Amino acid sequence: MPKKTFFNINEEKRKMIEEKAINEFAVYSYENSSINRIVENCKISKGSFYQYFENKEDLFRYIISLSVEKKMKYVNATLISEIDNGFIKIIKEIFKSGLKFAYENEKLASIGVLLMKNNNSEIYHKIIGQNKNMAIDFYKKLIEIEIEKGEIKPDINVEFVSYLINSMIINLSEYFFEINKNNEKKYSEEMLFLVDDLMDMLINGIGL
Amino acid sequence: MPKKTFFNINEEKRKMIEEKAINEFAVYSYENSSINRIVENCKISKGSFYQYFENKEDLFRYIISLSVEKKMKYVNATLISEIDNGFIKIIKEIFKSGLKFAYENEKLASIGVLLMKNNNSEIYHKIIGQNKNMAIDFYKKLIEIEIEKGEIKPDINVEFVSYLINSMIINLSEYFFEINKNNEKKYSEEMLFLVDDLMDMLINGIGL
DNA sequence: TTACCGTGTGACCATCTAGTCACATGATAC
DNA sequence: GTATCATGTGACTAGATGGTCACACGGTAA
Q: Which pLDDT does position A164 carry in this prediction?
A: 87
- Facing B202 at nearest CB: one of A29, A163, A205: A205
Q: Which pLDDT does position B86 carry in this prediction?
A: 79
> pLDDT band at A186, cuts 50/70/90?
low
Domains of chain B: 4-204 (1.10.357.10)
Q: How many CB pairs under 8 A join A and B?
A: 96
Cα distance between residue A76 and residue A131, in whole Å? 18
- Phi, psi of A30, rounded to the nearest 5 degrees: -60, -50
Cα distance between residue B56 and residue B35, in whole Å? 7
Q: Which pLDDT does position B147 carry in this prediction?
A: 93
- Facing B151 at nearest CB: one of A120, A168, A207: A207
How many residues are listed for chain B in this entry? 208
- Facing B161 at nearest CB: one of A31, A114, A201: A201
Q: Which pLDDT does position A124 carry in this prediction?
A: 96
Q: Which residues of A154-175 are buried (b: 16+ CB within 10 A; e: fewer)?
A: eebbbebbbbbbbbbbbbbbbb
Q: Which pLDDT does position A188 carry in this prediction?
A: 58
Q: Which pLDDT does position A127 carry in this prediction?
A: 95
Residue nearest to nucleotide C21 (CA to C1'): B47
Q: Which pLDDT does position B94 carry in this prediction?
A: 87
Q: Which pLDDT does position B208 carry in this prediction?
A: 82
Q: Which pLDDT does position B66 carry in this prediction?
A: 97
Q: What is the pLDDT of residues A44-97, one digit of tens each?
A: 999 999 999 999 999 999 999 999 999 999 988 888 887 777 788 888 888 889
Judge whether B162 and B88 are in contact, CB under 8 Å. no
Beta bridge partners of A152: B207
Q: Is the CB of A46 under 7 A from strand C?
A: yes
How long is the CA B12 to C1' D1 vector, in angstroms? 35
Q: Which pLDDT does position A24 carry in this prediction?
A: 98
Q: Which pLDDT does position A146 carry in this prediction?
A: 92
Task: Provide the shortest C-alpha distance from residue A86 to chain B (in Å).
Answer: 13
Q: Which pLDDT does position B165 carry in this prediction?
A: 87
Residue of chain B with shortest Cα separation from A204 = B205
Q: Is the CB of A14 under 7 A from strand C?
A: no
Nucleotide nearest to A40 (CA to C1'): C10
Beta bridge partners of B167: none
Q: Is the CB of B55 under 7 A from strand D?
A: no
- Find, among A66, A43, A71, A33, the residue nearest to A170 by Cα: A71
Q: Is the CB of B129 under 7 A from strand C?
A: no
Average confidence score pLDDT of chain A: 90
Percent of chain A surpassing pLDDT 70: 96
Q: Which amino acid is at A6?
A: F
- For A16-41, what is the mean pLDDT? 97
| Successive 10-residue mean pLDDT values, chain B, 208 residues | 94 97 97 97 97 98 97 88 80 88 92 91 92 89 93 91 87 78 64 85 89
